[in-house]
Chains A and B, each alone.
Chain A
Protein backbone atom coordinates (compact mmCIF):
# COMPACT_ATOMS: atom_id res chain seq x y z
CA UNK A 1 0.00 0.00 0.00
CA UNK A 2 1.23 3.47 -0.85
CA UNK A 3 1.41 5.98 1.93
CA UNK A 4 3.39 7.95 4.45
CA UNK A 5 4.83 6.49 7.61
CA UNK A 6 6.01 8.42 10.63
CA UNK A 7 7.88 6.99 13.55
CA UNK A 8 7.71 6.83 16.41
CA UNK A 9 4.06 7.50 17.25
CA UNK A 10 4.97 8.83 20.69
CA UNK A 11 8.32 10.30 21.64
CA UNK A 12 9.58 11.57 24.97
CA UNK A 13 12.61 13.78 25.27
CA UNK A 14 14.47 15.37 28.11
CA UNK A 15 15.15 19.07 27.96
CA UNK A 16 18.39 19.87 26.20
CA UNK A 17 18.34 16.81 23.95
CA UNK A 18 18.01 16.76 20.20
CA UNK A 19 15.54 14.29 18.73
CA UNK A 20 14.83 13.17 15.16
CA UNK A 21 11.38 12.36 13.80
CA UNK A 22 11.20 10.02 10.86
CA UNK A 23 9.04 10.48 7.76
CA UNK A 24 9.05 8.06 4.82
CA UNK A 25 6.78 7.99 1.77
CA UNK A 26 6.40 5.50 -1.09
CA UNK A 27 4.06 7.64 -3.18
CA UNK A 28 6.86 8.86 -5.45
CA UNK A 29 6.07 12.44 -4.45
CA UNK A 30 8.66 15.13 -5.00
CA UNK A 31 7.35 17.57 -2.38
CA UNK A 32 7.43 16.87 1.35
CA UNK A 33 6.42 18.98 4.33
CA UNK A 34 6.62 19.14 8.10
CA UNK A 35 3.90 20.76 10.17
CA UNK A 36 3.47 21.40 13.84
CA UNK A 37 -0.03 21.19 15.30
CA UNK A 38 -0.94 22.85 18.59
CA UNK A 39 -4.45 23.20 20.04
CA UNK A 40 -6.30 26.15 18.52
CA UNK A 41 -3.52 27.00 16.07
CA UNK A 42 -4.14 24.70 13.16
CA UNK A 43 -1.17 23.45 11.16
CA UNK A 44 1.94 25.58 11.00
CA UNK A 45 4.62 24.90 8.40
CA UNK A 46 8.11 24.15 9.71
CA UNK A 47 10.04 23.13 6.57
CA UNK A 48 9.27 21.90 3.09
CA UNK A 49 11.21 20.37 0.25
CA UNK A 50 10.37 20.17 -3.44
CA UNK A 51 13.35 18.12 -4.53
CA UNK A 52 16.18 16.04 -3.14
CA UNK A 53 18.96 18.04 -1.47
CA UNK A 54 16.86 21.20 -1.37
CA UNK A 55 14.51 22.54 1.30
CA UNK A 56 13.04 25.84 2.46
CA UNK A 57 12.07 27.25 5.83
CA UNK A 58 8.44 27.61 6.69
CA UNK A 59 6.85 29.99 9.17
CA UNK A 60 8.28 28.43 12.34
CA UNK A 61 11.67 26.92 11.35
CA UNK A 62 13.64 28.20 14.35
CA UNK A 63 14.92 25.36 16.48
CA UNK A 64 14.32 22.73 13.79
CA UNK A 65 16.46 21.23 11.03
CA UNK A 66 15.77 18.85 8.14
CA UNK A 67 17.57 16.91 5.44
CA UNK A 68 16.42 15.48 2.11
CA UNK A 69 19.05 13.02 0.95
CA UNK A 70 16.53 10.65 -0.60
CA UNK A 71 13.25 11.31 -2.36
CA UNK A 72 11.42 8.98 0.01
CA UNK A 73 12.71 10.40 3.28
CA UNK A 74 12.44 13.78 5.03
CA UNK A 75 13.54 13.52 8.68
CA UNK A 76 12.97 16.40 11.09
CA UNK A 77 15.35 17.13 13.97
CA UNK A 78 14.01 19.06 16.91
CA UNK A 79 17.01 20.71 18.51
CA UNK A 80 17.54 21.94 22.04
CA UNK A 81 17.14 25.48 20.66
CA UNK A 82 13.41 24.91 20.17
CA UNK A 83 11.84 26.64 23.17
CA UNK A 84 8.58 24.75 23.36
CA UNK A 85 8.85 21.52 21.38
CA UNK A 86 5.95 19.61 22.96
CA UNK A 87 3.44 19.25 20.12
CA UNK A 88 1.97 16.95 17.51
CA UNK A 89 4.06 16.78 14.33
CA UNK A 90 2.64 15.91 10.93
CA UNK A 91 4.55 14.99 7.80
CA UNK A 92 2.93 15.39 4.39
CA UNK A 93 3.79 14.89 0.75
CA UNK A 94 2.43 16.02 -2.59
CA UNK A 95 2.96 15.74 -6.31
CA UNK A 96 4.92 18.85 -7.31
CA UNK A 97 2.65 19.74 -10.22
CA UNK A 98 1.33 23.04 -9.01
CA UNK A 99 -0.90 23.77 -11.99
CA UNK A 100 -3.23 21.00 -10.91
CA UNK A 101 -5.32 20.54 -7.80
CA UNK A 102 -2.94 18.07 -6.18
CA UNK A 103 -3.64 17.69 -2.53
CA UNK A 104 -1.32 16.82 0.32
CA UNK A 105 -1.23 13.33 1.77
CA UNK A 106 -0.48 13.07 5.47
CA UNK A 107 1.26 10.62 7.75
CA UNK A 108 -0.27 9.50 11.07
CA UNK A 109 1.80 11.97 13.09
CA UNK A 110 4.25 11.88 16.01
CA UNK A 111 3.39 13.20 19.45
CA UNK A 112 6.53 14.70 21.03
CA UNK A 113 6.58 15.40 24.74
CA UNK A 114 9.46 17.12 26.48
CA UNK A 115 9.87 16.06 30.08
Chain B
Protein backbone atom coordinates (compact mmCIF):
# COMPACT_ATOMS: atom_id res chain seq x y z
CA UNK B 1 0.00 0.00 0.00
CA UNK B 2 1.10 3.53 -0.66
CA UNK B 3 1.99 5.70 2.30
CA UNK B 4 0.77 9.24 2.75
CA UNK B 5 2.12 11.13 5.74
CA UNK B 6 0.76 14.25 7.34
CA UNK B 7 3.16 15.10 10.14
CA UNK B 8 1.12 17.91 11.69
CA UNK B 9 -1.86 16.51 13.64
CA UNK B 10 -2.94 20.04 14.58
CA UNK B 11 -2.29 23.52 13.25
CA UNK B 12 -3.66 26.94 14.06
CA UNK B 13 -3.72 30.20 12.16
CA UNK B 14 -4.86 33.72 12.86
CA UNK B 15 -7.78 34.89 10.75
CA UNK B 16 -6.57 36.61 7.53
CA UNK B 17 -3.12 35.05 7.87
CA UNK B 18 -1.53 32.30 5.76
CA UNK B 19 -0.94 28.71 6.83
CA UNK B 20 0.76 25.77 5.15
CA UNK B 21 -0.17 22.14 5.77
CA UNK B 22 2.41 19.53 4.88
CA UNK B 23 2.02 16.18 3.15
CA UNK B 24 4.59 13.68 1.96
CA UNK B 25 4.00 10.43 0.12
CA UNK B 26 5.91 7.35 -0.83
CA UNK B 27 5.69 5.98 -4.36
CA UNK B 28 7.82 4.49 -7.10
CA UNK B 29 5.34 5.57 -9.77
CA UNK B 30 5.88 8.53 -12.06
CA UNK B 31 2.23 8.97 -13.00
CA UNK B 32 -0.15 9.75 -10.17
CA UNK B 33 -2.61 12.27 -8.79
CA UNK B 34 -2.69 14.12 -5.50
CA UNK B 35 -5.65 15.65 -3.70
CA UNK B 36 -6.46 17.74 -0.66
CA UNK B 37 -9.82 17.19 0.99
CA UNK B 38 -11.47 19.27 3.70
CA UNK B 39 -13.71 17.75 6.38
CA UNK B 40 -15.54 20.44 8.37
CA UNK B 41 -17.40 19.70 11.62
CA UNK B 42 -20.35 18.45 9.55
CA UNK B 43 -17.96 15.63 8.49
CA UNK B 44 -18.85 16.04 4.80
CA UNK B 45 -15.65 15.51 2.79
CA UNK B 46 -15.10 18.22 0.18
CA UNK B 47 -12.41 18.35 -2.49
CA UNK B 48 -10.21 21.42 -2.07
CA UNK B 49 -7.63 21.04 -4.82
CA UNK B 50 -5.94 18.41 -6.99
CA UNK B 51 -2.66 18.05 -8.86
CA UNK B 52 -1.44 15.80 -11.65
CA UNK B 53 2.11 14.58 -11.11
CA UNK B 54 3.14 15.20 -14.72
CA UNK B 55 2.29 18.88 -14.44
CA UNK B 56 5.08 21.12 -13.20
CA UNK B 57 2.78 24.01 -12.47
CA UNK B 58 1.33 24.13 -8.99
CA UNK B 59 -2.46 23.99 -8.81
CA UNK B 60 -4.38 26.99 -7.47
CA UNK B 61 -8.02 27.38 -6.46
CA UNK B 62 -8.81 30.86 -5.19
CA UNK B 63 -7.18 31.15 -1.73
CA UNK B 64 -5.86 27.59 -1.86
CA UNK B 65 -2.65 26.63 -3.60
CA UNK B 66 -0.20 23.76 -3.46
CA UNK B 67 3.56 23.46 -3.46
CA UNK B 68 4.23 20.26 -5.38
CA UNK B 69 7.81 19.03 -5.15
CA UNK B 70 7.89 15.79 -7.14
CA UNK B 71 11.49 14.86 -6.42
CA UNK B 72 10.96 15.37 -2.70
CA UNK B 73 7.53 13.65 -2.86
CA UNK B 74 5.99 16.58 -1.07
CA UNK B 75 2.57 18.14 -1.61
CA UNK B 76 1.83 20.97 0.80
CA UNK B 77 -1.35 23.04 0.92
CA UNK B 78 -1.21 26.80 1.43
CA UNK B 79 -4.29 28.64 2.61
CA UNK B 80 -4.09 32.39 2.18
CA UNK B 81 -6.27 34.98 3.92
CA UNK B 82 -7.59 32.32 6.30
CA UNK B 83 -11.25 32.51 7.17
CA UNK B 84 -13.24 31.07 10.06
CA UNK B 85 -14.92 28.69 7.62
CA UNK B 86 -11.54 27.14 6.82
CA UNK B 87 -11.50 25.46 10.23
CA UNK B 88 -11.64 21.73 9.50
CA UNK B 89 -9.70 18.51 9.19
CA UNK B 90 -7.61 18.43 6.03
CA UNK B 91 -6.66 15.17 4.37
CA UNK B 92 -4.03 14.63 1.72
CA UNK B 93 -4.70 11.78 -0.71
CA UNK B 94 -2.80 9.92 -3.43
CA UNK B 95 -4.00 7.88 -6.39
CA UNK B 96 -1.82 6.06 -8.88
CA UNK B 97 -2.40 7.04 -12.49
CA UNK B 98 -3.81 4.89 -15.31
CA UNK B 99 -4.71 1.72 -13.38
CA UNK B 100 -4.92 3.30 -9.96
CA UNK B 101 -8.39 2.67 -8.58
CA UNK B 102 -7.54 3.12 -4.90
CA UNK B 103 -7.10 6.36 -3.03
CA UNK B 104 -4.68 6.50 -0.11
CA UNK B 105 -5.26 9.04 2.62
CA UNK B 106 -3.06 10.62 5.25
CA UNK B 107 -4.11 10.80 8.90
CA UNK B 108 -5.23 14.40 8.60
CA UNK B 109 -4.38 17.81 10.04
CA UNK B 110 -6.87 19.61 12.26
CA UNK B 111 -6.82 23.34 11.43
CA UNK B 112 -8.07 25.90 13.92
CA UNK B 113 -8.68 29.46 12.79
CA UNK B 114 -8.33 32.04 15.57
CA UNK B 115 -10.52 35.16 15.24
Contact = CB atoms under 8 A, between A and B. Distances in A.
Interface of A: 31, 33, 35, 40-43, 45, 48, 50, 58-59, 88, 90, 92, 94, 96, 98-99, 101, 103-106, 108-109
**Contact-residue size bin, chain B (C-beta under 8 Å from the other chain):** 20 to 34
Contact of B101 (A41, A50, A101): A50
A39 to B, nearest CB: 9
Contacts of B107: 40-42
Nearest to A45: B102
B103 to A, nearest CB: 6
A43 B37 CA distance: 11
Nearest to B106: A42
B98 interface: yes
A103 B91 CA distance: 13
Nearest to B32: A101
A40 B91 CA distance: 11
A103 B106 contact: no
A42 B105 contact: yes
Contacts of B96: 98
Interface stretch (B14-22, B41-49, B69-77, B78-86): B41-49
